Structure formats: C-alpha cells, structure tokens
Structure 1
Amino acid sequence: MKHRNRAVAVLAALAAVTVLPGTVGVASADEVPGYRTADGATAVTGTASATDAPQLKPGLHSDAIKRGEQKYYAVTLDAKHSAYFSVAAAPKPGTKVEDYGDKLTLNVTDSSGATCDSEASPSFNGGGMTYPLADYATRRIGADRSGCQKAGPYYLVITRKGSATSGPETWPIELDYLEEPPLKGNTPAQPGEGTWSTAAPELPTDPTKRSAKGGTGFNDAGSVATGVWQDRIRPGETRFYRVPVDWGQRLNLSAELPNTSAGTASGFLARALRLAVYNPARGAVGDGTFASYTGKPAGAEEFTAPVDYGNRFNASREVNAMRFAGWYYLEVTLHPDAARYFPKGTPFTLRVDVRGTAKAGPGYAEPTSVFSVTPEDQEAAQKGQSAQEAEKSGTLMTVAYAGIGTGVVLLVGLGAWTLLARRSAAAAQGAAGGPEAQPVLPHQPTQSVQQAQHTRQSGPPQGW
C-alpha cells in the first residue's frame, strides 16, 4: 500500500504542475477582460482575393479584420457533410460601435461565386454597448437543396461594415469550422405547427444560489445546469456560460440585476443588460434580449424552441438555430453606462431551466462529440466546470487510475518475489541440514527468511 500511495502521489503531483491547454489568465482588478481566443487556434490571414485565399481545415482559427475590409478563406468540401463556419468578432471592451452600422456579413460561396445559404449579418444593437459579435454561415447538404451540393472548392467570405463615426480599431476574429455528419436513415421532417408551446413557463426559484464562473467567450465559458446561479459582472463586461441541451429539450432562461443600494444614482438605462443564446456551432439563436434598468430589480429572459433536427427547415432564425444537441452558450453583457448604478460591478442572478425529457437523436452515420450530450457533459454542468476544468479533472482521474494500476502491479510483483524468497530460504535450509533438517516454523524464522522479510519492508531487490 505504501508503494501504491507513493506512485499515486508522484503521478498526481506531476499532473498538478503540468500546464494544461486553456489555463485562464487573471486580469488586473481595474481591467475589463476581453474575449479570449482558443489557445490552440491556428493563426491565418484572409486575403482580399479568392485566388490566394488561405486554406482552412476543421477547427479553430484566428485572424483580424479592419473596418471596410473583406476577407476570403478557401475550404475543400465533400458531398456528404454539412459545414458550419462561425465567426466571433471581439472588439476590445469600450470600443466605440454604432448600432446596426457596425456589423459583419458572412457567407459561403462555391467556385462560381454563388451563395450557398442565406447570408448571416450579426450587428450591434445595444445602445452603444460593445460585446463579442457572433454567428455562422453554412453549406448544408440536403434533398431540399439544389446548389452547393457537390464536392469541390468553396470560400468563406467575411466583410466588416462600419460607420465613419465608430471606432477605427482592428477587430480580432475567431473562426470555427465544423462538419456535421450525414444521417443513417431518413431525414426528420420539420415539426408541425402547435407541437410546442411558445408561452414561457415559470423560472426556477430555488433559494440556494450556486456560484457560476463565467468566461470571456466560447472557449472558457463556465458550465451551468438547471438551477439558480450567481456570478459577478462589471460595467462593459461580457460573461459566457454553457449548458448541455439534448434532443427534445429547450432552454428557459433569465439574467437578473439586483436593485441599487441606497444613495446610488437613479434614472433610466434602456438596454442595461443583454442576454443572448448561441447553439453548439456558435450560431445565434435570435438577436438576444435586453433588460432596461431604473434602480429596481430587472431581468432579460429567453425561451427557446425544443432541439429538433427538423428545425433547420424552419424560416424563423430563432427556431432554425435549435437544430442540434450539444453545448449551448449564454452571453451576458452589462452596459458600460451601468457604472452610475454599479461603479464597482454587481452580483447578478442567472436562472437556468433545461426543460423536457431527452430523446434519441436522428442517428448520425458517424460519431460526433459536438452535436451530442454525454454523461460527462452533464456532470461538468452540475459542477459548474469550464471545458478546461473538465479536461483537467478527467486528466487527473486518468492519472489516478494509472497510479492505482501501477500500485497493483507493484503489489503483485512484491508478492511473487516474497514467495520466491521464502522458497529459496527453505531450500537452502534443507540442503544445509540434510534429511534430518528441522522444518521452518512461523515463530522461528531462519536467517534467510528474516533477510527476505527485511527486504520486503524496505523495497524490492535492486534491478527488479
């Protein structure tokens, strides 16, 4: 047992000092943290022409884009997988933006320049509030589609539009390229009218508030599950959370500000708090909702459609985006002008209600970790872990199991060695004493056995 414990302790110590990917840095007290790009993102530079556009592969990529700039990225797509290309623009908190004037346009085109799907155009609409801006463009495979179904070269085209009165800063952008496998069987139809209610139910009222740890973006978002959570936010800051939502389930959410303390400023702030939802491919589920504020408790609410493969055929953006299971993301932003109420920031409440019973998925022809919910995902959500914390927890558990396995091998080896030592000692005694040699009794150990017992206590023989 001593050797097993020592092995576990050594391995755990090594794991503890290992720097794992995604370790979150600490911002200074007076700094509002900006969007954190994934540590493993591949740096690329989009071009103004499709001719020399950089080739993207599935995964995360980072770039930057200037006001008025258009960038091309090349991709090679097959004729089986649907492709999703999300873009998250991350202006630094406090950057000046114009509502509806500062925006991105995203589309996927074939080699002839024909657009494969409807163009995505995420824009700011928060009363001058800056926050990460995200959505996706797609190339979807389906019997209901006619264009962009062949294998071959395609292009992701990103354009940044902006007003001359907005900030001139270059925006960092993060691109995520995901592939969705084909189905094994028939494609589910669009859910019929009236199959689910649009009337939002009551939100969770559990008096016990659990501590949530929001991240700066999609990559370090803190996990949450059904229940009442509390975090802290500063004026101008955006916090991200993630929650697993399975097939057939839907989200009922609210983000709520408390009342101000006595003596603080009053008045009216039209868009004090923003709550937005994104699907597992980082596609926007609608435009987000806002809560106005007058110094009294107030909250922004979201209620989604149930997750269904057939939702992709719905014309409504809010329903269309609820097309696959997986981690959904919640984005909460506090307006910088809220500093007159909360100069040092404020705690806020996040109510999360994952409604409905999980159903079997449509049956993908290939395994997909992105568009599914696992028991490990549910466990991470209950613990409030970010993806990095969940990965670290899993790594330490693997190390622990490895340590236990090593300890078992050591014990078996020591047992076998001890047995051989006993037999060797007995044989030596018999050879020395001949036929009349006395048997070795438990309470009368021979010198050889004593040596073997001493060796067992101090460790295996050298070279074992």
Structure 2
Amino acid sequence: MKIRALAAACALTLVSVSAASAGPGPEAPEVKPQTAAGSGEKIEPGQYRFSVPADTDARYLRLSRALGESVVLTGYAISGPKVGDALTFDLMLPDGETSCDSDSATASNPGDGLSPAVVLEGKESERVDYPPTNASCGTAEDLLLQISRGSDDETTASEPLKVELTYSREPKAEGDLGPAVKESDLKARPLPVKDDKDVAAGTTPHTAAPLSGDTGTKVEVVPGARAFYKVHVGWGQRLDVAAQVPANGTGYQPPVDLNVDLDIVSPQGVSVGLGEKTTAYVSSTSESDPKQLSAFTAPVRWANRDAAITDTALENAVWTTQPGWYVVSLRVAPSSVADGKLPENPKPMPTLLTVRTEGQATAGPSFTSDGQQVGAPPVGQISGEGQNSGSVLGLVLKVGVTLIVLAGLGVVVVWFRRGQA
C-alpha cells in the first residue's frame, strides 16, 4: 500500500495513554526487536529507540489496535547510515508472512537519513490507498512490525544501526470533522529571515531543539549532517519556515558542491512541508548570492486527511492532521556521490533559520467514535505538559475506555520523504 504524498520520515511522535509525556531523546524507552515474530516486545503508541544489528535477519515488535483505528509507524536512523545502507519496515499480520504495508529507505548520499514509514488506515481517506490490498489487514487488530537491514547484496552495513521510532494510533472518527483545507489556500507567504537568538540545534528528530512560534536563530550545519528544531503548532494554525545560506566568499567556501534541503515533519513523523523553494544548490567553485529556502504547512485540521488535493506538490497537506511539535529539518550534503567525498571535519555552513506560526489556536474538532462523543482536549492541554519546550507532545482523545495519544515530537524533521530522507 502506497502512502499518498507521503514522505515520511524522520519520524517522531509520542503517543501515551495519559497526559504525561515521556520526553525526547535519551528519555525515550529502548526496546529490543526479536528475531522470533511471536516473542517480539509489545509496544504502545509513543517514541522508542532500538538498534538493528549488522546482519540480514528480520526482527519484530508487536502492536495492536481497535477495529477502525489507524496506525502510523515512522522510523529514523540516528547513527550511520553509510552510503548504500538500507532500512526496511513491514507492517504484517501475526502470521509473520502477510504484509499490510511496507517501505524501504536507502542512503544514496552522505547525510541521507533512513526513514521508512508504514500505515494501516482504519477508514477511507486521501492519505493512503484504501481498502488494504489484503482484506485481512482491514480487520486485523493484532499486528507485527518487521524490521530489517535488507538483503545480502543491498546492505553495506558493518555496525549496528540505531533507530528512533514513532508510533501513533488514531481513533475511528465520524460525524462533523470540520472543513478540510482547500488547495487554493495553500500559498507561500513572505517570511524575512532574522537572527534574534542563537539556539543550538538537535541532531535527531527526537532531540530537536524547541523554538517559539516567531523566532530566528543562527545555526551551523556540518556538511553530511542535519540540524533539527521543533515548533509547537495548535489546531487551526500553520507553520512557516525560512532559511538563508551564505554566499561564497563571505566567510564560508563549500568543500564540494552542496545541496541544502529544508523540510517540516508532523508529530507523526510524516513530511508535511510544502513550497517550491525547499532545496538550494551551492557551488564550491563559482560565485553565488545568498540562497533563500522556504517551506510551510497547511493549517492543522483533522479533516485534512480527506482534502481534495490534485497538485502533487501539495499532497503532503493531507498529513497535517494533528497538533503538536512539528520538526523542522535542515540538511546539508554533497549534491551527488559523483561530486566527491567530504573532507574530514568539514567546516559547518553558517545558516539563518526563522520560524513563524500563524493563526489563533482553536479548540479542535468534536466527533463520535463507535457512537460515543469524542472531543478534542482544551487548547492548553494539547501537549502533555502544556507547551513545555522540553516535552514531547501527546494529543489525548478519550474513546470510551481507550485513551489515544497522538504523539508529537517536534521539529520539522525535516525532510522525510517516504523511503528516504
């Protein structure tokens, strides 16, 4: 099953069964996928870390959902990966043979993140193809996440790959879900860059550094790496991001030809950045002016999953469906493998990054699930700890006795295009 418009990725999101959040980075619990499908550790919605050994064995985690709920799992390799390395997710039935959705990511250049994403939708939407190709997947409540490094001729792995995992589960929603965004409203807006702060970036989606909704900061990105920030976005709000990289000869000279990529990732770890200026090419030999990049999101609405988007450049808007920490990702990497290897300890590229949230946060939708009224939490309680910059967001919806928290790590992670970051 293909995820429409998705680019998943960097993924990050924390889901919890209470209003408390587990926190980013080192506080995320570590799990150990098992080679025997039936003995895999069972996980609940949330953020996790695990390591995948340098072999081709498949490993498993177990999860479950109520009938009609949607499941989204996104990963991001935080150590390595080397060029040619690969990571595959396969969402399967408990028999360990029947696949419901699969995705593989391969690192083609230094700085590429491996960010596979798999989805099992509980009802028809514009986010993924529905119903599942295998009818048994549509009614399955118990599932397996199969994790592998690839086949013998695909992997160049020589050491374990450390991975961040975000698992979110959504309720079966019916009734008045509010309006979906209109394609005509998805327009870029001017956002001048500024540097009123100096905030050190995070090095992974789960460790993204928090920024307030109207902030500019200086950031130095080492070629072959990424910088991550997160911004809290509420119901009805949109996020705009702008970046500027320096002209050659102004204190920075690229060691090789570079690409600079800007992206925004949702609390579920899916790429939701829109715009026509998300990538810039920086030559190592010719003079150039400062390069301007920009990206924006659709306003956060539950009903965006059903938005009628015909422009493929705007398809990611159907994933802007949860409030929480949106991750901003800035990647600097060689423009291609043929452009040469990076020198040891390359000089960081000085960059200006500015973020801005627009619109007044609203109370969110109210709908029914299995005949019971479900309301969005109050605006101030969308995050497990309000808008505490040190916590990961959890959106809590109570459906009967089921508490569903849709996670939100924050910061545009950036780049996450399905299958490769």
Q: TM-score by structure 2 length?
A: 0.66
State the shift of 1:268 in Å. Answer: 6.2
Is the Cα–Cα contact under 8 Å of residues 384 and 391 in structure 2 kept in the other structure?
A: no
Is the Cα–Cα contact under 8 Å of residues 76 and 115 in structure 2 kept in the other structure?
A: yes
Higher RCO structure (Cα 8 Å, ≥6 apart): 2
Instruction: Give the aligned residue type for 1:158.
Output: I
Match of 1:240, SS state, is: strand
State the shift of 1:279 in Å. Answer: 0.6
State the partner residue of 2:144.
Answer: 155
Is the Cα–Cα contact under 8 Å of residues 204 and 353 in structure 1 kept in the other structure?
A: no
Q: Work out the CA distance in 2 between the residues paired with 1:79 and 1:246.
A: 28
The alpha-carbon distance between structure 1 residues 153 and 343, as it changes in their structure 2 partners (threshold 3 A), is: closer
Larger Rg: 1
Q: Deviations over 1:375-418 (max 9, x none)?
A: 9755x5xxxx4439xxxxxxxxxxxxxxxxxxxxxxxxxxxxxx
The alpha-carbon distance between structure 1 residues 78 and 159, as it changes in their structure 2 partners (threshold 3 A), is: same
The alpha-carbon distance between structure 1 residues 338 and 323, as it changes in their structure 2 partners (threshold 3 A), is: farther
State the partner residue of 2:71.
Answer: 83
Q: Does 1:231 align with 2:235?
A: no
Q: Does 1:108 align with 2:91?
A: yes
State the partner residue of 1:298.
Answer: 291
Instruction: Give the aligned residue type for 1:90.
Output: I
Q: Work out the CA distance in 2 between the residues paired with 1:154 and 1:60.
A: 18
Instruction: Give the aligned residue type for 1:331.
Output: S
Counterpart selection for 2:271 from 269, 277, 284 = 284
Q: Work out the CA distance in 2 between the residues paired with 1:352 and 1:45.
A: 37
Counterpart selection for 1:170 from 132, 152, 160 = 160
1:356-395 counterparts in 2 under 5 A?
356-363=359-366, 365=374, 373=382, 380=388, 385-387=389-391
Match of 2:60, SS state, is: strand
Q: Deviations over 1:234-272 (max 9, x none)?
A: 33332211011222322222232223446865686141x
State the partner residue of 1:186.
Answer: 176
Is the Cα–Cα contact under 8 Å of residues 135 and 284 in structure 1 kept in the other structure?
A: no
- Which sections of structure 2, spanning at least 5 residues, go unmatched? 1-21, 335-339, 368-373, 393-421
The alpha-carbon distance between structure 1 residues 132 and 39, as it changes in their structure 2 partners (threshold 3 A), is: farther
State the shift of 1:161 in Å. Answer: 3.5
> Identity percentage over the alignment?
24
State the shift of 1:329 in Å. Answer: 0.4
Q: Work out the CA distance in 1 between the residues paired with 2:181 and 2:274.
A: 22
Instruction: Give the aligned residue type for 2:83.
Output: V
State the partner residue of 1:323.
Answer: 321
Is the Cα–Cα contact under 8 Å of residues 40 and 60 in structure 1 kept in the other structure?
A: yes
Q: Work out the CA distance in 2 between the residues paired with 1:161 and 1:290.
A: 29
Is the Cα–Cα contact under 8 Å of residues 212 and 229 in structure 1 kept in the other structure?
A: yes
The alpha-carbon distance between structure 1 residues 143 and 284, as it changes in their structure 2 partners (threshold 3 A), is: closer
Match of 2:322, SS state, is: coil
Q: Work out the CA distance in 1 between the residues paired with 2:341 and 2:41.
A: 42
Q: Work out the CA distance in 2 between the residues paired with 1:368 and 1:181.
A: 14
State the partner residue of 1:440.
Answer: none
Q: Work out the CA distance in 2 between the residues paired with 1:211 and 1:52.
A: 47
Counterpart selection for 1:133 from 106, 114, 122 = 114
Q: TM-score by structure 1 length?
A: 0.61
State the partner residue of 1:5.
Answer: none
State the shift of 1:328 in Å. Answer: 0.5
State the partner residue of 1:241.
Answer: 229
Instruction: Give the aligned residue type for 1:387.
Output: S
The alpha-carbon distance between structure 1 residues 341 and 285, as it changes in their structure 2 partners (threshold 3 A), is: farther
Q: Work out the CA distance in 2 between the residues paired with 1:241 and 1:281.
A: 15
State the partner residue of 1:97.
Answer: 83
Q: Does 1:51 align with 2:41?
A: no
Q: Does 1:213 align with 2:213?
A: no
Q: If each structure's strand is expressed as a fraction of its own residues, which one has the higher value?
A: 2
Does 255-264 or 289-298 show the bigger shift?
Answer: 255-264
The alpha-carbon distance between structure 1 residues 52 and 262, as it changes in their structure 2 partners (threshold 3 A), is: closer
Instruction: Give the aligned residue type for 2:350.
Output: P
State the partner residue of 1:438.
Answer: none
Q: Work out the CA distance in 2 between the residues paired with 1:143 and 1:332.
A: 33
State the shift of 1:213 in Å. Answer: 2.4
1:262-273 counterparts in 2 under 5 A?
265=253, 269-271=257-259, 273=260
State the partner residue of 1:350.
Answer: 353
Match of 1:177, SS state, is: strand
Does 249-258 or 334-343 show the bigger shift?
Answer: 334-343
The alpha-carbon distance between structure 1 residues 159 and 290, as it changes in their structure 2 partners (threshold 3 A), is: farther
State the partner residue of 2:11.
Answer: none
Q: Work out the CA distance in 2 between the residues paired with 1:53 and 1:287.
A: 37
Instruction: Give the aligned residue type for 1:326.
Output: G
- Which sections of structure 1, spanning at least 5 residues, go unmatched? 1-20, 23-35, 389-464
Q: Work out the CA distance in 2 between the residues paired with 1:133 and 1:370.
A: 34
Q: Deviations over 1:113-144 (max 9, x none)?
A: 5544x54444445xx22244335322332266
Instruction: Give the aligned residue type for 2:196.
Output: K
The alpha-carbon distance between structure 1 residues 334 and 132, as it changes in their structure 2 partners (threshold 3 A), is: same
Q: Deviations over 1:326-359 (max 9, x none)?
A: 1100122233789779944243110213233434
State the shift of 1:368 in Å. Answer: 6.4
State the partner residue of 2:17.
Answer: none
Q: Work out the CA distance in 2 between the residues paired with 1:376 and 1:90.
A: 26
State the shift of 1:182 in Å. Answer: 4.1
